[in-house]
Structure 1
């Protein structure tokens, strides 16, 4: 059924004329009150302007290096996507957050990110970025001294889970470009145009029932896969500077990589970045009839440069498990109604994971959900991925680091009650991805 646009015409409302009493407005009392009001407004305006001039906050970045003596190095610390690196880096970041946020004068601490964990004779060496906000009138060296003082006081007074060897601690001021380059070695980090971390999005709507993505850099791993001459076909997710993860069914009609391009950015037209596709790898056991093993990889002919607006997502460890009702986000350029047109602007939705036992109920998908599939949405429907979102990411936020946990695969229509979206479960294919890409 086609829905015609509703036309609105101006209603001829009757106009009511109000008669005003003629009187002299500028009597002495009113003039005095008016003058006082103007003075108050001017005073408040000057105060606000002064506040923002004085409190014109600026971002300051530091590279911290130190030795931790009460843990031993593990080989997997060298792999930033490993569970060991992720868990240890989260522990270190939480410790830094507690130290700086609870200390007087350090309320402007924003975030920290572990960049590297390397072996040392006495334990491990940690390299991490620290981010702060201070008035632009503050100097880099003065803030550095504040940070060092806070850290040394914490080492003396507080019971910390990790033992930092004080003489090993060094702090180096870095600019935003150096900071961004360091963070590019970490996956799944979203940054705003002002080089500050983006908080987890809290919208509850999108795709079918939704809103457009708010800003560049909100979902920097989202790609659009397009057939030359035919436009957008599927979504895809950047997992390295050359590899995209997507759904096998996207290439069912055309597997020739020379016919495909990938674009990045929050709009299809104009694209922010455009790349040709050089290789397509479809899972060897993909079955179109059952939707099993609906996963594929596309390799770009030219690498992309990571930035605030183009960035890779993290691949989960194969052991990662998400309980039912976990909040996750799906993004894409697909239609917002069943069989509707592709959207030029990227859209997003918060959905929730649904247990396989529920999804396999007779009134839902009646046993069609296999271990390589993941259901997400709402049992009442209304919010869902739809046609054109296929191949795109379902992502999960773990302490502001984002992981791809699903690939938009299939579903009965869009946003129907008891028919949630079905996604390829990425953890099930973690080893397959590594075998093809080395990631």
Structure 2
């Protein structure tokens, strides 16, 4: 049954006759031979220099650490704020001082602060570090050099920021992830959180999830509401004007003027509210089979990103999530089958389930198509439910979150061998791009 809105890659040379001439020519040959050897050595050195020195490449790392001698300010959650910019510059100058005068000094290029978030001891820093090393070096070898340089600097230098050494974490990332972080900065939660959430951590549910701990924990979550009827479906903010949701949410009413979208950890009061300009349903959506259950909603006016409202990242179409990958589903839906919606946003950790397993006769008996993704547990208990429809199923990759599924359908809620079925977002990247340009 569909999770309905709330009403869902040699010739030998001849000898010379005269001995004196032979000695002369031998000397010439020796000289020429020596010059040739020198030239060969020179070329070899040039080649080695080219590949070892000239052929450097950039290596990117995502670093996180705590600074204990400053206090968190609310405006740190707004990247355009003066407080965020000034504090970020201070942190970046500190990174420059640490690395430029260390054993990796000539290799450090720059750093960029990605986010500042609150911590009991001060402020949590998430920052991208960029280095250049020979392309023959490995990211892990370089990581050890960077960590050694940092730890040595923390022992010997007087710094304006007090960095908690045990909190320092360094993760290699590729250039695509680096550009994603620096340019669009999607998928970043602006608050600290008690993640990962155990699968059975509470007695209540999204089904069997928990109430979200604080504002901004899932900042891309939206509530789609029909004017006069309240919350109908969830949705994911993918840009400052576009929401990703399920097509079945609009089977009764797709008039954009009748819809609003709200953001925040509660429906009432909302942190942000927007009217809807356009609703786009997939042209080949079939309600009977649940195929192509995907839609886009354009907001009438853009939202401003903050610590409460942020966009989630869209996954590359090539991403593969093996079975039992931890993912999270969030929503305002029922915590029991056919129960009322919840005013406070709830979350639950579930695991991906292979299509082969999900298509077994005793599960969904062949109903799962390539555009669908199963997630939950075969024993049931934890699941999305009515009112969670259209909402996000997200995956964490080095603290960057990607929407990999859209709550679509399932048989009842949280039943054994009846996991949640989600629209597989990777299959619709071209469709999303064709409609939004993203």
Superposed pair shares fold, TM > 0.5: yes
The reply to whether residue 202 of structure 1 matches residue 197 of structure 2 is: yes
Kept in 2, the 8 Å contact 1:316–1:405? The answer is yes
Give the 3-state SS of the residue equivalent to 1:226 in structure 2.
strand
Instruction: Give the TM-score normalised by structure 2.
Output: 0.64
Q: Alpha-carbon deviation of 1:150? A: 3.6
CA distance 1:300–1:357, shift in 2 (3 Å): same
Kindly provide the CA deviation profile for residues 42-86 of structure 1, in whole angstroms up to 9, marking residues without a partner as x: xxxxxxxxxxxxxxxxxxxxxxxxxx97467xxxxxxxxxxxxxx
Distance 1:145 1:331 in 2: 38
Kept in 2, the 8 Å contact 1:191–1:198? The answer is no
Task: Map 1:268-307; keep pairs closer than 5 Å.
Answer: 268-307=267-306
Kept in 1, the 8 Å contact 2:268–2:343? The answer is yes
CA distance 1:184–1:199, shift in 2 (3 Å): farther
Give the 3-state SS of the residue equivalent to 2:433 in structure 1.
helix
The reply to whether residue 249 of structure 1 matches residue 217 of structure 2 is: no
- Partner residue in 2 for 1:113: none
Distance 1:143 1:242 in 2: 31
Distance 1:411 1:169 in 2: 48
- Partner residue in 1 for 2:83: none
Alignment RMSD (CA, Å): 3.0
CA distance 1:228–1:145, shift in 2 (3 Å): closer
CA distance 1:402–1:143, shift in 2 (3 Å): closer
Instruction: Give the TM-score normalised by structure 1.
Output: 0.64
Give the 3-state SS of the residue equivalent to 1:135 in structure 2.
coil
Distance 1:170 1:328 in 2: 30
Kept in 2, the 8 Å contact 1:333–1:345? The answer is yes
Give the 3-state SS of the residue equivalent to 1:430 in structure 2.
helix
Give the 3-state SS of the residue equivalent to 1:269 in structure 2.
coil
Q: Alpha-carbon deviation of 1:175? A: 9.4
Q: Alpha-carbon deviation of 1:151? A: 4.6
Q: Alpha-carbon deviation of 1:134? A: 3.6
Task: Map 1:22-37; keep pairs closer than 5 Å.
Answer: none
The reply to whether residue 149 of structure 1 matches residue 83 of structure 2 is: no
**Number of residue-to-residue matches in the alignment:** 305
- Partner residue in 2 for 1:364: 363
- Partner residue in 2 for 1:352: 351
Give the 3-state SS of the residue equivalent to 1:404 in structure 2.
strand
- Partner residue in 2 for 1:422: 421
- Partner residue in 2 for 1:135: 69
Q: Which of 1 and 2 has higher RCO (CA within 8 Å, sep 6+)?
A: 2
Task: Map 1:8-23; keep pairs closer than 5 Å.
Answer: none
Q: Which runs of 5+ in 1 are unaligned?
A: 1-67, 73-87, 98-108, 111-131, 157-163
CA distance 1:148–1:285, shift in 2 (3 Å): same
Distance 2:329 2:339 in 1: 18
Task: Map 1:38-437; keep pairs closer than 5 Å.
Answer: 70=55, 92-94=60-62, 97=63, 110=65, 133-136=67-70, 144=93, 147-155=96-104, 165=107, 169=110, 185-192=184-191, 198=193, 200-205=195-200, 206-437=205-436
Kept in 2, the 8 Å contact 1:199–1:400? The answer is no
Distance 2:283 2:307 in 1: 35
Q: Alpha-carbon deviation of 1:210? A: 2.4
Q: Alpha-carbon deviation of 1:184? A: 7.9
Kept in 2, the 8 Å contact 1:276–1:302? The answer is yes
Q: Alpha-carbon deviation of 1:149? A: 3.2
Distance 1:152 1:171 in 2: 18
Q: Alpha-carbon deviation of 1:148? A: 1.9
CA distance 1:69–1:362, shift in 2 (3 Å): farther
Q: Which runs of 5+ in 2 are unaligned?
A: 1-52, 72-86, 118-124, 127-180
Kept in 2, the 8 Å contact 1:360–1:367? The answer is yes
Kept in 2, the 8 Å contact 1:184–1:306? The answer is no
Distance 1:383 1:396 in 2: 17
Q: Alpha-carbon deviation of 1:208? A: 1.1
